[in-house]
Structure 1
Amino acid sequence: MTYLHDVWLGVIEGITEFLPISSTGHLLLAEHWLGARSETYNIVIQAGAILAVTLIYWRRIVELLANWRQPENRDYLVKLTVAFGITAVLGLIVKKLGFELPTTIQPVAWALVIGGFWMIAAESYAARLKDSSVITLKVAIAVGLAQIVAGIFPGTSRSASTIFIAMILGTSNRAAATEFAFLVGIPTMYAASGYELLKQAMHGGGHENWTSLGIAFVVSTVTAFIAVKWLLGFIQTHRFTSFAIYRIVFGGLLLVLSAAGIVG
């Protein structure tokens, strides 16, 4: 039965990591019934989702790196580097200061609800802007800062915060904003996962069931690949409104369950 739990956790992580609905709230609720997992376990299944997005964008990544001398590719790489650099530097400072809200039901639920309303307002504003796929330096800086905000406030959703800040600051094209947010997320999340795994290893890390961890990793990778592929097709013709409504409803449900003492 334990391995079935690993499958479920892998599916939940894979679906929710890159969709703008926050993986944190879903994993918190799942672990309430399926049992809490170690920090190493959670990091590794997240790495599965990152691997999936890397596979989806591998052609774009190779194109950018192989043809970096082309002005448009070089400019895009500079913007990616700026966004990642801001996140890396400020992220280390935030970690050292210990400035992060607790990963518990109530703050995560409020972040889901508030984030849902923010998404509706941001997309409504972006819809009135001229369609643009250009990533400006302002957008790159803001995306880097948005990743820090998502790290400080669990439940915010890294993808939601980065996509929508890009959209309201000028990259109003949903596909272009999403691509930049996901490409920035690849090195950011690899670095964060590597940092946390190194920290776990240095502090002993405890004993892991590597079979369970391996199952969850593979399931997370496959599920995330399918989920992100679907999302990239969906946003070509649809707005993010359905995700925003889902966040508000799910966050509200978590608040009700917490108030009733069903989840803590």
Structure 2
Amino acid sequence: MHDLIRVIVLGIIEGITEFLPISSTGHLLIAERWLGARSDLFNVGIQAGAILAVTLIYWKRIWQLLTQWRDPANRDYLFKLVVAFLITAVLGLIAVKFNFKLPETVTPIAWALIVGGFWMLAAERAAAHKPDQRNITWTVAILVGIAQMVAGIFPGTSRSAATIFAAMLFGTSNRESATEFAFLVGIPTMYAATGYELLKVLHDGGAAHEDWTALGVGFVVSAIVAFIAVKWLLGYIRTHRFTPFAIYRIVLGVALLLLLPGGA
């Protein structure tokens, strides 16, 4: 029962933080220090639950892109999504090739939260002085692909924050348009990451040791909570800036450095 509660809590944390620009990976790594570490497949699997929620929310837009690809605007947007995903995938395979590992201490996560918070404040300020630009340029697509990988390498950065604000700083000043592109490119990225981890577990013979019940519960909880969180966020950004999230990141990062000065 206690383990089930821990799984539910981790699913809730993932569902809330995956698409809010405050870093789901950073929050999960911190939470697991008190709730117990989980497998890489569990962590990526519950992220897939959150991605499923976004897939359901954006299913009309996805269907439009896939069935009306002959329309020049849709085809151009779809190609940019594909390029952004491929950039992330290639950089991800390079990181795997060099055996990159996530940090095991809190200090780098805390600093990533702080730096990311100030990055968000600067991006909001810069975007406020630009004309309302909704178009996704090729520059934005390329930088969003790179930003996804940067967020994967540095927990605490936040994939959604890195991609949304890369878009806002370098061409798409409109928050809704930048958020939509960032979320849509995250769909194939996270499904691919989940599939990769699943194949790795099966190849290494770890399936027998995986707690599939916990993974299933975490997946469902994450999907439900993420659906609610993303629906709220999409309504929120129509009339509000991301500033409160930036302040939260900075406060949390500073608190972690003060409470855990050794990075334990």
TM-score normalised over the length of structure 2? 0.95
Matching residue's letter, 1:43: V
Kindly report which structure 2 residues correspond to 1:76-95, keeping only aligned pairs within 5 A, or say none. Answer: 76-95=77-96
Aligned to 2:13: 12
Q: Give yes or no for the alignment of 1:248 onto 2:250.
A: yes
Please state how far the C-alpha of 1:28 moved relative to its aligned partner. Answer: 1.9
Q: 1:243 to 1:118 in 2, by over 3 A?
A: same
Matching residue's letter, 1:229: K
Distance, in Å, in 2 between the alignment partners of 1:213 and 1:94 is: 25
Higher mean displacement: 63-72 or 85-94: 85-94
* Contact 2:41 2:194 (8 Å CA) reproduced: no
Please state how far the C-alpha of 1:183 moved relative to its aligned partner. Answer: 0.4
Distance, in Å, in 2 between the alignment partners of 1:229 and 1:92 is: 32
Q: Number of paired residues?
A: 262
Please state how far the C-alpha of 1:231 moved relative to its aligned partner. Answer: 0.5
Distance, in Å, in 2 between the alignment partners of 1:98 and 1:174 is: 35
Matching residue's letter, 2:43: N
Q: 1:101 to 1:2 in 2, by over 3 A?
A: closer
Aligned to 1:233: 235
Distance, in Å, in 2 between the alignment partners of 1:103 and 1:177 is: 32
Q: Give yes or no for the alignment of 1:193 onto 2:197.
A: no
Q: What per-residue deviation string (whole Å, max 9, x for no partner) do you get for residues 23-55 of structure 1?
A: 122112221221111122112111111111111
Matching residue's letter, 2:29: L
Aligned to 1:123: 124
Distance, in Å, in 2 between the alignment partners of 1:210 and 1:85 is: 30
Matching residue's letter, 1:18: F
Q: What per-residue deviation string (whole Å, max 9, x for no partner) do you get for residues 171-216 of structure 1?
A: 0000000000000010011111111221122112251232222211
The percent of aligned pairs where both chains have the same amino acid is: 69
Q: Which 5+ residue runs of structure 2 have no aligned equivalent?
A: none
Aligned to 2:28: 27
Match of 1:214 among 213, 216, 230: 216
Higher mean displacement: 99-108 or 209-218: 99-108
Q: Give yes or no for the alignment of 1:102 onto 2:103.
A: yes
Stretches of 4+ moved more than 4 A in 1?
none
* Contact 1:133 1:177 (8 Å CA) reproduced: yes
Q: 1:43 to 1:101 in 2, by over 3 A?
A: closer
Q: 1:103 to 1:185 in 2, by over 3 A?
A: farther
Q: What per-residue deviation string (whole Å, max 9, x for no partner) do you get for residues 124-172 of structure 1?
A: 0011011010001111111111111111211110110000010011100
Distance, in Å, in 2 between the alignment partners of 1:16 and 1:94 is: 24
Distance, in Å, in 2 between the alignment partners of 1:65 and 1:247 is: 36
Matching residue's letter, 2:251: V
Matching residue's letter, 2:32: E
Please state how far the C-alpha of 1:102 moved relative to its aligned partner. Answer: 1.7
